[in-house]
Amino acid sequence: MQKSYRIDGVFDIYTISKREEELKKLPKEAVLELDNLKKLDTAGALFLVNLAKEHSFSLKATKKEIVQTLELVKRYPVQPLPKSQHCSFLERIGYFFVKKYIFLVSFLSFIGELFIKKLSLFFNPQYFRYKEILYEINQSALKALGIVALTSFLVGVVVAYQSAVQLRLYGANIFIVDMLGISILRELAPMITAIVIAGRSGSAYTAEIGAMKITQELDAMRTMGFDPYYYLVIPRIFALMISLPILIFVADIAGVFGGLLIAHTQLGISFGLFIERFRDVIDVKHLLLGELKGPFFGFLIATIAIYRGFIVEDDTQSIGKHTTKSVVESIFIVIVCDAVFSVIFTHLGL
């Protein structure tokens, strides 16, 4: 003989866990009377239907809303999630290279369109956004002067301090000027500046454009006839290409000044002697070669950062992922570019 059990109160997604153990202890083939329920949602109905199948229970209800909820759950059962298929090692390698190929083609397409848009500016100068470029220069150069100068100053201090110990052993104190001047002007100042700007301005470019894509502001601009390349891309690229040489010059001064302080305190070289030696042995070409790297570094950082912003997917997590990638890729490509410059300058005897 089947026993009947009355279920009353509220049976929804918030109360299932409280009654689950009690219901599972009922004998098989029991009859569950549901007419006294005050509330039954689809989560509760789904639980009861599955429980009835597992324990051979019978569900009894005459109230219209309860019957409709049970029938709805039975009519549209929850489909089990498909089992994840594990790819083989070769499939993963193939998938990796396909992704990189698609990324490369997309990036080259972006570069090509950027080149066409820049070329069109010579024939349509009215599209040149001077105000936007000045605004971006203020954001990426003037507001970054402090952090760039401080970082370069500390690098100059560290390099000079480490070198002073060895130079003092050989009585070659004065040669710290040669080493500091060449290393900071040619390599350290441009490199440090580019890395700081990649982390500061590059990440901001990716996040800003990525957020605009998620909020469909880019689509709105195109709908209103505003080309994002003229209003967002080209001003930022020109701004960084102009800003980097300025920041590198500031970094040169700060780095050399940091080295000067250490040379004075650790090696006893007076300020006047340091400056005189610097003027005699450091050729202006070292300054110019360091400045020459600025526009190239700026172009690479801005291009990678902006492209990463354009390929952000429609979720906020994607912004963080692409911002991280843009900074890492920018720093990597800057180091590669600097190595290429070093090889070229060496072959040219500069």
Query: What pLDDT is recorded for position 10?
Result: 81
Q: Name the nearest CA neighbour of 104 among 329, 336, 340.
A: 329
Query: The dihedral of CA 328, 331, 333, 335: what is its sign?
Result: negative
Determine the distance from the C-alpha atom of residue 153 to the mean position of all C-alpha atoms in its chain, rounded to a whole number.
27
| CA angle in degrees (0–180, nearest 5) for 145-147-152 | 95
Q: What is the pLDDT of residues 107-156, one digit of tens each?
A: 888 888 888 888 888 887 777 788 888 888 888 888 888 999 999 999 99
With tokens 């003989």, the residue in question is: 1
Instruction: For residue 187, give the DSSP letter.
Output: I
Contact 66, 34 (CB under 8 A): yes
Alpha-carbon distance 297 to 190, whole Å? Answer: 9
The pair of structure tokens assigned to 272 is 């006047």
SS3 179: helix
Average pLDDT over residues 66-74: 80
With tokens 């109230």, the residue in question is: 63
Q: What is the pLDDT of residues 192-206, one digit of tens each?
A: 999 999 998 889 899
Q: Which residues contact 100 (CB under 8 A, 6 or more apart)?
A: none
Query: What pLDDT is recorded for position 223?
Result: 87
Query: What pLDDT is recorded for position 85?
Result: 66
Q: Please name every residue paired with 6 in a beta bridge, in sequence order, or none if there are none.
A: 33
| Homologous superfamily (CATH) for 4-75 | STAS domain (3.30.750.24)
Q: Please name every residue paired with 32 in a beta bridge, in sequence order, or none if there are none.
A: 5, 59
Average pLDDT over residues 280-302: 91
Considering the chain, what percentage of its residues have pLDDT values greater than 90? 24
Total count of residues recorded for the chain: 350
With tokens 């001064």, the residue in question is: 253
Q: 170-191 burial, b if ≥16 CB within 10 A, otherwise e? A: eeebeebbeebbbbbbbbbbbb
Alpha-carbon distance 308 to 227, whole Å? Answer: 18
Task: Quickly state the pLDDT bin for 312 (edges 50, 70, 90).
Answer: confident
Query: What pLDDT is recorded for position 99?
Result: 86
**pLDDT averaged over every residue in the chain:** 85
Query: What pLDDT is recorded for position 147?
Result: 92
Query: What pLDDT is recorded for position 81?
Result: 64
Query: What pLDDT is recorded for position 280?
Result: 86
Contact 72, 65 (CB under 8 A): no
Query: What pLDDT is recorded for position 84?
Result: 63
